[in-house]
Amino acid sequence: MTPAAVDLPAIELREVALPLVRPFRTSFGEERDKRAILVRAIGDDTEGWGECVASVEPRYSEEWLGGAWLALERLIAPSVLAGAVKRPGQALEGVQWIRGHRMAKAAMEAAVLDAWLRAGGLTLSEHLGGVRDRVPCGVSVGIAPTIEAMLEEIRSYLAKGYRRIKLKIEPGRDLAVVRAVREALPDTPVSVDANGAYTPADTPLFEALDELGLMMIEQPLDVEDLTDHAALQARLRTTICLDESIRSSRDAEAAIRLGACRVINIKPGRVGGILESKRVHDVALQAGVPVWIGGMLETGVGRAANLALASMPGVTLPGDTSASDRYFPEDLTKPFVLDPDGTMAVPRGPGIGVAPLPSRLEACTARRTTVTSP
């Protein structure tokens, strides 16, 4: 059944703040608490939720929370309020002229899509052509102060069942750390993620990492260096996975054509939406390139959508979608729980299948505003 058009007379924006269970350190800095913008599309008989993954500072990409808030409040929400949403892809039609701001657009699309699917009683996974109701999960491990601390953290994740460990690396904290982990846990599938912290001059380092039997090396070089990634991939047996460099399905096509990667990490915020994520997936599937769903330390709202994306047929590798207790003492939604076999259930309710718990939402809200039709 195709849901009917939904009228959305108002859009609420909330900035939320949640403490993390432990600081998350990457090559571009450390986060101690999670801040996000939640978009709530309010219809007469339905509502929908989306999460904007822009970080507080523009380090992962040029987007940042303060800028995304303004883009949503002043440009994106007024444009969506101007018309009824008859088809899911329509939510962002009026904002095509806005260059960039993909994370802000993705959050709005997610909220509208959720409202539309809820109105029609369809799950997001069904809408995306999902083929599984449980998905295998990995976990991303931040840079720790010592190797011992990192090993302890990793062992606790393995005990819970996680199927793949991703280590964050940065210049100076790379080869020795990864070697120590491989030696301590030789049978554990391990990947590394550099968040673009290296240059082609670091090729000897990657050749050394190439000897360690890693599942993949994620975003070793700068976001704009597709050709350098292609040259590096040609020298390595280890698969290169691109994250930051893939901002659209066109980027995915180009990267695959150039041989810049053999795997793609899909994040809906980075590529400007859930529907564009499906297009990246389709391009990769067509080319025989495996994909997995990444994470941006989302609250349960964003994670629910990521789990639905992970149910698509071409998502054949464990993602960074971990359980609520890996991130927060208390999530915004009903907690997501990892099964001992290292899988999580794809939400079964209509739309994204979850919503923020009202009392948690109030407790975590730092600011809010409501944009209404003019």
Give the active site residues: 168, 267
Nearer to ligand SMG, 80 or 167 (CB): 167
| Widest pairwise Cα distance in the chain | 62
Report CA 290 to chain centroid distance, whole Å.
16
User: How far is CA 78 from each of CA 75, 82, 129, rounded to the nearest angstrom?
Assistant: 6, 6, 31
The stretch among 15-23, 101-109, 191-199, 254-262 that binds Mg ion (CB under 5 A) is 191-199
261 Cβ contact partners less than 8 Å away, ≥ 6 residues apart:
229, 233, 239, 240, 241, 242, 245, 255, 289
Distance CA 75, CA 85 (A): 17
Please identify the residue of the shown chain whose CB is closest to the bound ligand SMG. Answer: 295
Shortest separation between residue 78's beta carbon and ligand SMG, angstroms: 28
Contact pattern for Mg ion over residues 59 through 78, marking x by CB under 5 A = --------------------
The stretch among 120-128, 210-218, 221-229, 284-292 that binds Mg ion (CB under 5 A) is 210-218
Q: Does 193 bind Mg ion (CB under 5 A)?
A: yes
User: How far is CA 203 from each of CA 56, 209, 235, rounded to the nearest angstrom?
Assistant: 32, 10, 9
Shortest separation between residue 60's beta carbon and ligand SMG, angstroms: 5
Distance CA 228, CA 249 (A): 20
Shortest separation between residue 264's beta carbon and ligand SMG, angstroms: 12
Question: 320 touches which of Mg ion, ligand SMG, none (CB within 5 to 8 A by kind)?
Answer: ligand SMG
Shortest separation between residue 86's beta carbon and ligand SMG, angstroms: 33
User: How far is CA 199 from each of CA 88, 223, 227, rounded to the nearest angstrom?
Assistant: 40, 11, 12
Which chain residues interact with ligand SMG by CB under 6 A? Answer: 26, 55, 60, 140, 193, 195, 243, 294-297, 320, 322
Element holding 256 (H helix, E strand): helix 249-258
The stretch among 30-38, 56-64, 119-127, 237-245 that binds Mg ion (CB under 5 A) is 237-245
Residue from 109, 225, 243, 251 touching Mg ion (CB under 5 A): that is 243
The stretch among 59-67, 124-132, 185-193, 361-369 that binds Mg ion (CB under 5 A) is 185-193
Question: 162 touches which of Mg ion, ligand SMG, none (CB within 5 to 8 A by kind)?
Answer: none
Question: 297 touches which of ligand SMG, Mg ion, none (CB within 5 to 8 A by kind)?
Answer: ligand SMG
Exposed, middle or buried, 223 (CB in 10 Å: 0-12/13-18/19+)? Answer: middle
Contact 281, 314 (CB under 8 A): yes
Nearer to ligand SMG, 120 or 155 (CB): 155
Shortest separation between residue 103's beta carbon and ligand SMG, angstroms: 11
Spell out a b/e string for 166-188, using b for 16 or more CB atoms within 10 Å of the CB, else e: bbbbbeebbbebbeebbeeeeeb
Distance CA 4, CA 120 (A): 7
Question: 55 touches which of ligand SMG, Mg ion, none (CB within 5 to 8 A by kind)?
Answer: ligand SMG
- Chain positions contacting Mg ion, by CB under 5 A: 193, 218, 243
